[in-house]
Amino acid sequence: MPMPDVVTRFAPSPTGHLHIGGARTALFCWAFARKHRGVFTLRIEDTDQARSSDESARGIMEDLAWLGIDWDQGPEFTTSDGKKIGGDPFRVGPFFQARRVKLYNEHLMRLIEQGKAYPAFEKPEELESKRKAAVAAKQTYRYDRAALREMPDIKDRLKRMESGEPHVIRFFVPDEPVRVQDEVLGEVKYAAGEVDDFVIRKADGFPTYHFAVVVDDETMGVTHVMRAQEHLNNTPRHVALQKALGFRTPVYAHMPLICNMDSSKMSKRDKAKAARAAIKQASQKEPGVASRLASETGLGEKTLADFVAGEIDTVEVATAIGARLNIALPEIEVADFRENGYLPEAINNFVALLGWNPGMKLPDGKDLEKFDNAFLCQHFSVERIGKTSAKFDRTKLMSFNADAINALPDAVFAARWRAWCAEFSPEIVRRVPEARWGILASAVKARAKTFREASKPCAFAMLDDGAIVFDQAAVDKNLLANDKQGLALLRAFREAFAAAFPESSGDEVGAGPSHAIIETLAKDRGLGMGPVAQAIRVALAGVAVTPPLGETMAVLGRRSTLARLDRCLATHHG
């Protein structure tokens, strides 16, 4: 099968979760391929063996599949609903770089034979001291070829290499300027000598990122490379290598940075930053908080001290601290957003606007910003990618998500929220019978901005009737105040409820009829709904916050509602 005219690729390193910036790269590459009926490739760049893991590669694939970004060639993957993604229709795989070492070595040997690459034997310490000297002299360190001049004959070098002496392979960078034509940034020029003889095969026998990327982009037929701007400075190396290897140069488009609202670069470190700030704040009230956290998290004093000092920034440490201090760390990875109840369609829409926009207006003159992936695939264009960094506006994302939830038909919301709860809040699913799920879902949907928020007022459904803890302030205000007015109302409500739903009627109670009882009672007493409703809420949930009460009782059913009313009355001597 011939390769199509457009082949894009997303090439993550499997060293962690999929970052939201990675999701944007994938989305743009995917949309571009779809628009041009091309091929979207997923390639796993796992040549850094120490930092890569299969688990992380799988996690990245799960996140992409969750976003609906499917790849035409790449590792095979089956989605949770049984759809198969990936494969090798053009026979250019495998798609894990660590499994392509033989291919890299073939191209590498070709370069050596042509005098365009050479084994180098300097010890890391030697290079490090030269680097330090350059830094001390305020100069940019560049590999200086001194050793090459001492032993210029490639045969001597190959002999040393074959004898097993530790070595790397370096690319002999031609002494000429390199021009990179970037579709977003225009022409970027690098003067001769700016790029030094960089390593293309490491001492462990694996190619470096630069070499593997160039060989793979060529052999996988990649025509368009869209990636984060931080890779721009790698591009002259890639272009120089392509030339030396006789490869095509694909079209390059480097995407703008994604920044926080304060213009700092959005990164995984933001989690550490937030956790560190929380420790600082907590230590004002509790000077020994760091020691307490060290022992409670099991991280130990040294790790905690290093973390506080900013010497380590790992997500794991930040997460453990966030959990102990009960603070929410900023969402950075796709998995964070998923866990917090964002919808993939809202994420895609929002992420698509990070550095791109369709350039269309609504009838009212405002920019068209709301669209789905089908629209993106139809209208995506590299020309509309901006140069300036994009701001990650969390308030806007939240409002996109709320709108996306609102747009879901009730039954779809119910099913998707249930699937989310099954994964992230399973207790609700376990406790609320499936037949009553729709009632709960429609009760929380209107005010929910995320699936997680939808679950918050459902704490009442996650406890045994006898385990409700009555919040004293809520009790004082809603039951005991005004000479125990709330308790009296509760007692009257209990009688009316029991009369309306006798035992013989079974456990199902309608939301409408339950609500009507409250209305009637309030009217009879000449009161607003508030005092009656708040008293009932305290009885059913321990606090004065629940979803609408008719639905709350319908979810609990007759037996639990009565049990909770009775327990509350008994506890507070009603």
Distance CA 556, CA 540 (A): 9
CB of 121 to ligand GLU, least distance (A): 28
Distance CA 563, CA 539 (A): 10
CB of 440 to ligand GLU, least distance (A): 41
227 lines the binding site for ligand GLU (CB under 6 A) = yes
213 lines the binding site for ligand GLU (CB under 6 A) = yes
Per-residue binder mask for ligand GLU (CB under 6 A), 64-103, x = binder:
----------------------------------------
**Scanning the structure block, which residue is given the tokens 């370069």?**
111
CB of 389 to ligand GLU, least distance (A): 17
Distance CA 277, CA 295 (A): 19
CB of 215 to ligand GLU, least distance (A): 12
Nearest by Cα to 427 from 465, 470, 458, 471: 458
Q: Which residues on adjacent β-strands are paired with residue 265? A: 259
Stretch of 8-16, 60-68, 79-87, 430-438 contacting ligand GLU, by CB under 6 A: 8-16
Contact of 507 with 436, CB cutoff 8 Å = no
Name which of 180 and 518 has its Cβ closer to ligand GLU.
Answer: 180
Name which of 96 and 371 has its Cβ closer to ligand GLU.
Answer: 96
CB of 293 to ligand GLU, least distance (A): 32
Dihedrals phi, psi of 441, to nearest 5 degrees: -60, -45
Per-residue binder mask for ligand GLU (CB under 6 A), 100-129, x = binder:
------------------------------
Name which of 13 and 552 has its Cβ closer to ligand GLU.
Answer: 13
13 lines the binding site for ligand GLU (CB under 6 A) = yes
Question: Up-side HSE of residue 37: CA atoms within 13 Å toward CB?
Answer: 1
437 CB-near residues (< 8 Å, 6+ apart): 414, 418
224 lines the binding site for ligand GLU (CB under 6 A) = no
CB of 382 to ligand GLU, least distance (A): 15
Cα separations in angstroms, 305 against 27, 126, 455: 39, 32, 36
Name which of 213 and 244 has its Cβ closer to ligand GLU.
Answer: 213
Name which of 213 and 272 has its Cβ closer to ligand GLU.
Answer: 213
What is the DSSP track for 452-493?
Answer: HHHHGGGGGGGS-GGGPPPPHHHHIIIIIHHHHHHHHHHHHH
CB of 231 to ligand GLU, least distance (A): 5
Name which of 267 and 303 has its Cβ closer to ligand GLU.
Answer: 267
12 lines the binding site for ligand GLU (CB under 6 A) = yes
Name which of 210 and 564 has its Cβ closer to ligand GLU.
Answer: 210
CB of 79 to ligand GLU, least distance (A): 23
266 lines the binding site for ligand GLU (CB under 6 A) = no
Stretch of 9-17, 128-136, 191-199, 412-420 contacting ligand GLU, by CB under 6 A: 9-17
CB of 78 to ligand GLU, least distance (A): 24
Dihedral angle computed from the Cα positions of residues 233, 237, 239 and 243, in that order, rounded to the nearest 10 degrees: 170
Distance CA 481, CA 111 (A): 87
CB of 12 to ligand GLU, least distance (A): 5
Nearest by Cα to 86 from 69, 99, 74, 94: 74
Q: Which of 6, 7, 11, 60 binds ligand GLU (CB under 6 A)?
A: 11
Nearest by Cα to 349 from 324, 329, 369, 331: 369
Token digits of residue 513: 């009829």
Name which of 12 and 548 has its Cβ closer to ligand GLU.
Answer: 12
- Hey, which residues between 36 and 55 contact ligand GLU (CB under 6 A)? 45
Q: Collapsing DSSP states into helix, strand and coil, what is residue 226?
A: strand
345 lines the binding site for ligand GLU (CB under 6 A) = no
CB of 442 to ligand GLU, least distance (A): 43
Distance CA 402, CA 220 (A): 40
Instruction: Tell me, by CB under 6 A, how many residues bind ligand GLU.
Output: 7
Nearest by Cα to 314 from 335, 332, 327: 332
486 lines the binding site for ligand GLU (CB under 6 A) = no
231 lines the binding site for ligand GLU (CB under 6 A) = yes
Distance CA 194, CA 295 (A): 50
Cα separations in angstroms, 449 against 156, 332, 400, 418, 455: 68, 18, 9, 15, 11
**Scanning the structure block, which residue is given the tokens 């509602």?**
561
Stretch of 10-18, 98-106, 129-137, 319-327 contacting ligand GLU, by CB under 6 A: 10-18
Stretch of 5-13, 264-272, 305-313, 324-332 contacting ligand GLU, by CB under 6 A: 5-13
Per CB under 6 A, residues contacting ligand GLU are 11-13, 45, 213, 227, 231
